[in-house]
Amino acid sequence: MSTETKGKGTASTLADRLYGLKGRTLNRVSALAYRTRGGAPSAGVRPVLEKLNRDGIAVTNVEELLGSNNAWPELVAFEEQEAGKQADEIERTRRAADEEGPGKSYLLTMFPPPVNVTPENDILVRFALQEPLLTIANAYYGMYAKLRSANIWHTFPSTLPARDSQLWHRDWGDRYILKVFVYLTEVGAGSGPFTYAQGTHPKGPIQANARGERMYGGTGAFRVKDEELAKIVPQDQWVRAIGPAGTIIFADTRGYHKGGESRDSERVMYLCVYRSPGPTHKEEFAQGVSVSGALTREQRSALPR
Ligand SMILES: O=C(O)CCC(=O)C(=O)O
């Protein structure tokens, strides 16, 4: 259930309240446990964490953050193998990128939710459980965060005007929403880089909302054009995350962001989302996520229930 789902009438309002209360209680318990035994984040992750707390976005890379012994080669090999298996679907989506209408015709989600985690694809989860990533997620939330989803996106060039997530928006549904994007291909200005308005995250100074318009003739989600966003965040505070394969972006997407406006080359990107432990979101995993190999207590607690 999402916190954005509003019930009608007294019964569902009460159910919503009880649901919210359960979520807040779980978060308080988790925050207390984190304060008691979480420890200080290591020196290696502190610069990223400080930037994320201050700006709502921090850009780093695999080598800098994860060191030499990390799950990156396995993730790359997995994506290549899957791209081979899904070659027909990739080609079909590539050709359909310019189809108009609701929905992101320019985007292929390689593993449509709910994702059934198996020993064959559990690198999707294990990548997100790597200690530096999890340390940053827990410290940002100030509690033991849970993994909400993990996936790989292929974004294809399109010639249509910017639409959906290609336009500025805030995500909703929790106090913070921490997403990690990892480029699997080089991403330049023409491949739809993830872009963020610094300081618009809930910990930041800019809480105003820019004037938006509903897409698709008033039936779609609110989206904001560049000229409107510039009225609340000067353009020199927009971070356009351009970089080689292996670039890692941490962003609290409660702040204004956009991306995927690919015009001349494809973008392949791993992403994972951490959330607070309260039951405030629809899971994007099928029930019962388990992964291969020994896990620490922190890693076990990040697995979705
Ligand atoms: O594709 C992108 O870079 C934008 C992603 C986005 O808007 C989101 O994950 O909320």
Å from CA of 15 to ligand 1 middle: 31
The ligand 1 atom at the shortest distance from the C-alpha of residue 257 is: 7
Cα 32 off chain centre by: 25
Give the pTM. Answer: 0.94
CA distances (Å), origin 22, targets 25, 33, 170, 188: 5, 17, 25, 44
| 146 Cβ below 6 A of ligand 1 | no
133-148 pLDDT, tens digit per residue, is 999 999 999 999 999 9
> Nearest C-alpha to atom 3 of ligand 1 is from which residue?
259
Q: For the chain, state the CA radius of gyration.
A: 19
- Using the atom order of ligand 1, give the atom closest to the CA of residue 194: 3
What number of residues does the chain have? 305
Does the beta carbon of 23 lie inside 6 Å of ligand 1? no
269 CB contacts (<8 Å, ≥6 apart)? 152, 153, 155, 181, 182, 183, 184, 185, 187, 194
Q: What is the atom index within ligand 1 of the atom nearest the CA of 166?
A: 4
Alpha carbon distance 44, 255 (integer Å): 25
Nearest CA to ligand 1 atom 5: 259
**DSSP letters along 20-68, please?**
HHHHHHHHHHHHHHHHHH--PPPTTTHHHHHHHHHHSEEEEEHHHHH-S
Check if the beta carbon of residue 187 is closer than 8 Å to that of residue 242: yes
Nearest CA to ligand 1 atom 4: 259
Q: Which parts of the chain register pLDDT below 50?
A: 1-10
Cα–Cα dist 169/254, whole Å: 9
Show the tokens assigned to 183.
Answer: 């480029």
Give the whole-angstrom CA distance, residue 224 versus residue 241: 19
Residue 141 φ/ψ, nearest 5 degrees: -75, -25
Given ligand 1 and candidates 181, 200, 261, which is best to mutate, with the most ligand atoms within 8 Å of its CB?
A: 181
In ligand 1, the atom with minimum distance to the C-alpha of 271 is 9
259 close to 166: Cβ distance less than 8 angstroms: yes
Q: Does 179 contact ligand 1 (Cβ within 6 A)?
A: yes
What is the helix (H) or strand (E) element at residue 271, kind and residue range?
strand 267-275
